[in-house]
Chains A and B, each alone.
Chain A
Amino acid sequence: MELTKETLLDMLYYMKLTREIETRIERKLYRQGKIVGGVYVGRGQEAIAVGSAIQLEKDDCICPSHRDMGAYLIRGMSPRVILAQYMGRKTGATQGKDANMHMGDMSKNIVAFVSMLADTVPVAAGVALTFKIRKQKNVVLCYFGDGATSRGDWHEGLNLASVQKVPVIFICNNNQYAYSTPIEKQMAIKDIAVRAQAYGMPGVTVDGNDILAVYEETRSAIERARGNEGPSLIECKTFRMTGHSAHDDVKYVPKHLFQEWEKKDPILRLETSLLQNKTVTEADVKRLAARIAREVDEAVTLAENDPYPEPHEALEGVYADQLAEAPLSFVDTFFSRQT
């Protein structure tokens, strides 16, 4: 499918914005001690989230994983909210209750990720089931890594989605490492896409560093889903260009792999091709970089100045209709009564 210049530029923008935000988080704010918890980035994998989520409609839904920053941005979560989330501020997506990529917002149909990998797979099936029950022509994009496909919830989720023929597209970021575990210790198959066959849905393997290929495979899976033809699995082969998290020195990955994959960088690839075929000019690219730097600078400044939550807010939000009890509330009342 022929893409408009606007879409191509959007792709470049969201991939670069992702890269810039994650670079600030991983290589500046984290090292400056401004992020107290874990940091998980998707460097080198930006094409997967961006190439898929960019074609969604307003009422579609995403269940992103921890290396899919681009999908959050496309769905309208702002860099400031994301940065505030990482820094534990009240303005973060979880108001300081949860960390890093564990962000959700149902007003934007973003379902928050949890650390138990693949938990969102059956949840995505449930969102899609709702679309089916309501006869809505919407779809769910559900993202996960290669390691997550070893969990039972993943298999249960794909099976249920397929049996119920619900509109969900399962997108695997196969970055070849689950923390330090290489893919050959994770599974005895070469392509994760073959797992789709066991559940009676189409499964394809695509070059996850080629955003146009990701876009195209997702487009046809979305078309199937909107046409009531059920779920699909898309395996995007890519490479994790960092450690599992910011504290991981990643010594277990052979150096030459980084060198090889560096050449396949998805952002560089799109940019080079757009320049070569004159879709964009050097000036366009420069303007884009300046715009992104300005946006992220602003977001960092805002987030850094955002307040932390008040301590007592720890008791809020467990239930819709009541606060949690402070552990010492009775003790304090009791002894004050005695005196």
Chain B
Amino acid sequence: MAAPTTYLEAIRQGIWEEMERNENVFILGEDVGVYGGAFKVTEGMIERFGEDRVIDTPISEAAIVGAAIGAALMGMRPIAEMQFADFIACAFDQITNFAAKCRYRWGAGVPLVIRGPSGGGIHGGPFHSQNPEMHFVHTPGLKVVAPSTAYDAKGLIKSAIRDEDPVIYFEHKFLYRRIKEELPEKEFVVPIGKADIKRSGSDISVITYGAMVHNALEAATVLAEEGIDLEVVDLRTLLPLDKERILESVKKTNKVILVHEDVRTGGIAGELAAIIAEEAFEYLDGPIMRITAPDTPVPYSPPLEEFFFPKTSDIIRVAKQLATY
């Protein structure tokens, strides 16, 4: 039996396999080559694929993404690494004005992947912990994915690389080496745009993504002993949303808690709440609840950071109250 694969190794395997499969796939980013990436996601790739396909760039997020766009227009399949997802802000214009709008404006596909570590829990402070996904979820033309397991991480990076449109792939750095699972030896992909029921339940739907999926699953285990049966819906893709799967779950359980470690205002929970209120209004037996980070930057000091992130105990507390509503 194969040894369990970490979330980080799963991403690396997915990229590696796609680079073996298609010579148009190449990587560019800061420290991705000789050093193997700040988190070692691209370790060993420059030795295997050469410096034409694993390109160390200057500290130039706008140029990294811009060059990736140019290559994608020419039929290449670039993977642009943002060393930390926080730095994606430097490339915001290239992503939202150029990459996202090419197909709509002039029918030119931009099949590129922009990936990088997002999320907190590692004392990274305000500039190494952010969840910038919603900046991009608000931009038609992009796809945004955020896997929570090694299986999804591998399957989604492969789908992202094969996709005809720009995909932003947020990998949660807290999960990199903390979670692992056995992966199938046979090749597999995970489709973009499909949510996944990580735990089936009948009382309350907890809809979330990324690292918070694991908090929701922990909460479900605790609550099961108290007779509260949570269903955990892992969005996996934030844009486009799998409305069908989301509504199906809410219509089954009739109660819903939306959880994310992103800040509250403008987080995906607001959009989900609107969809559920509009399209599943008649099925609801309780208010739609949100558990999110507060509307602040991500603070550094351990007690502050601990306070900032939603916790398993929050999910348990809210679920108990909602169950009795």
Contact = CB atoms under 8 A, between A and B. Distances in A.
Interface of A: 61, 93-95, 97-98, 102-106, 111-112, 114-116, 119, 121-133, 152-153, 156-157, 159-160, 163-164, 317-322, 324, 330-331, 334
B105 A153 contact: no
A339 to B, nearest CB: 16
A114 B69 CA distance: 13
Contacts of B183: none
Given A112-B108, A319-B165, A156 B102 contact: no
Given A122-B62, A164-B55, A97 B106 contact: yes
Interface string B275-307: 000110000000000000000000000000000
A125 B70 contact: yes
Interface string B137-161: 0001101000000000000000000
Contacts of A156: 58, 60, 62-63, 66
Contacts of A97: 104-106
A174 to B, nearest CB: 22
B70 A130 contact: yes
Contact of B58 (A114, A115, A153, A159): A159
A114 B96 CA distance: 11
Nearest to B166: A319
Contacts of A133: 26, 52-53, 71, 76
Given A111-B73, A123-B66, A127-B70, 10 more contacts: A106-B74, A122-B94, A127-B71, A128-B70, A130-B74, A133-B26, A157-B66, A164-B55, A320-B109, A322-B240
B202 interface: no
B105 A102 contact: yes
The 5 closest A-B pairs by CB, nearest first: A126-B70, A122-B66, A126-B67, A156-B63, A320-B164
B245 interface: no
10 contacts: A93-B106, A94-B107, A95-B107, A112-B105, A116-B93, A116-B97, A126-B71, A156-B63, A157-B66, A320-B109
Contacts of A152: 62
A278 B165 CA distance: 54
A335 B149 CA distance: 40
Interface in B217-266: 240
Interface of B: 26, 52-53, 55, 57-58, 60, 62-76, 78, 93-94, 97-98, 101-109, 140-141, 143, 164-165, 240, 278-279
A95 B74 CA distance: 21
A123 B98 contact: yes
Given A114-B97, A119-B97, A317 B107 contact: yes
Contact of A317 (B62, B63, B93, B104): B104
A123 B60 contact: no
A126 B69 contact: yes
A104 B26 CA distance: 25
Contacts of A153: 62-63, 66, 93-94
Contacts of A130: 70-71, 74-76
A130 B74 CA distance: 7
Nearest to A153: B62
Given A111-B73, A130-B70, A153-B63, A320 B93 contact: no
B106 A94 contact: yes
A132 B75 CA distance: 14
A103 B107 CA distance: 10
A121 B58 contact: no
A87 to B, nearest CB: 16
Contacts of B106: 93-94, 97-98, 102-105, 112
Indicate the member of B52, B105, B141, B279 with the most A CB atoms within 10 Å: B105
Contacts of B104: 97, 317-318
Given A103-B106, A104-B106, A159 B74 contact: no
Contacts of A95: 107
Contacts of B64: 160
Nearest to B74: A130
B141 A319 contact: yes
Nearest to B60: A156
Given A114-B97, A127-B71, A160-B58, A122 B63 contact: yes
A271 to B, nearest CB: 34
A94 B63 contact: no
Contacts of B101: 114
A111 to B, nearest CB: 6
A170 to B, nearest CB: 13
B63 A104 contact: no
Nearest to A125: B67
Contacts of B97: 114-116, 119
A114 B70 CA distance: 13
Given A112-B102, A112-B108, A318 B68 contact: no
B74 A127 contact: yes
Nearest to B102: A112
A115 B98 CA distance: 10
B277 to A, nearest CB: 12
Nearest to A330: B279
Indicate the member of A112, A114, A122, A124 with the most B CB atoms within 10 Å: A122
A318 B239 CA distance: 12
Nearest to A104: B106
B105 A122 contact: no
Contact of A121 (B65, B66, B105, B143): B66
B99 to A, nearest CB: 9
Contacts of A131: 74
Nearest to A159: B58
Given A112-B105, A123-B73, A320-B164, A160 B52 contact: no
B73 A159 contact: no
Contact of B57 (A128, A160, A334): A160
Nearest to A99: B105
A317 B141 CA distance: 9
Indicate the member of A105, A131, A318 with the most B CB atoms within 10 Å: A318
Nearest to A102: B105
A37 B122 CA distance: 50
